[in-house]
Amino acid sequence: MRTEPRRAAGALLIELALVLPFFLLFMYGMLECARLVYLWNTLQEVTRAAARAAAMADYTDPAAMEALRRRALLRSNGGTLPLVPGLDSSYLRIEYLWQGADGALQPVAAGARAPCPALNRLYCLRNPNGSDCIRFVRASVCDPADADGCRPVPFRPLLPLPQLDWQSLVLPPSATTGRAESLGYQPGSALCAAPAAPPP
């Protein structure tokens, strides 16, 4: 009589030992998939917030640009994006774009940018399709090691399992382009000096 409950308990324990690893692996996969969906939405919101803020911020002020990057990543004093280990403000790229007569958007070269927002307004009044007129702002999440392009950021699981191949997974690409607004220009602010033209 006493051996039957012991056998049943032993069989139950063996079944639990066989099923539990598969159940935990399934739950782990579900949690990582849910985090990937969270990242899909959050990264889009991060680029939207960064593009909106960059359209109003003074692009010549490094402290203001770093502050808007931190705020876009939902951090007030540095750190990484919640639930995304390693993704800090260096992954958030902000580009200033000019629009050609054909409608194509191209980055404004760093040397061609106006030294202050007030002068940018004059550049745009002089030639709205000039390569020195900042008309749009684009914020994107890119791998900082790729300076020329925008390579996607590798996906890093919260609990990496060596048995699974995570190298092929990347974070969802996210970029937002918005119209440049004040770019930090304040009405009545002093006009900065234009850069000297190179000698012929």
> Measured between alpha carbons, how far is 174 from 40 in angstroms, rounded to an integer?
8
Distance CA 141, CA 173 (A): 7
Q: How far is CA 158 from the centre of its chain?
A: 19
Q: How far is CA 81 from CA 49, 64, 141, 166, in A?
A: 14, 19, 12, 20
> In the beta sheet, which residues pair with residue 140?
93, 175
Stated pTM of the model: 0.79
| pLDDT (tens digit per residue) in 19-55 | 888 888 888 888 888 888 888 888 999 999 999 999 9
Contact assessment for residue 40 and residue 172, using Cβ atoms and an 8 Å cutoff: yes
∠ at Cα 191 (61, 51), nearest 5°?
40
Give the Cα separation of 46 and 175 in Å (integer). 9
Report, as an integer, the average pLDDT of 133-161.
Answer: 86
What pLDDT digit, counting tens, does each position of 154-192 carry? 887 777 766 666 667 788 788 999 999 999 888 877 777
> Which DSSP state fits 175?
E
pLDDT for res 38: 86
Which residue is it, tokens 């951090």? Answer: 75
Report whether 136 contacts 105 (CB < 8 A). yes
- Read off the pLDDT of residues 81-103 as tens digits, 9 standing for 90 and up: 887 878 888 899 999 999 988 88
Residue with token string 């749009």? 136
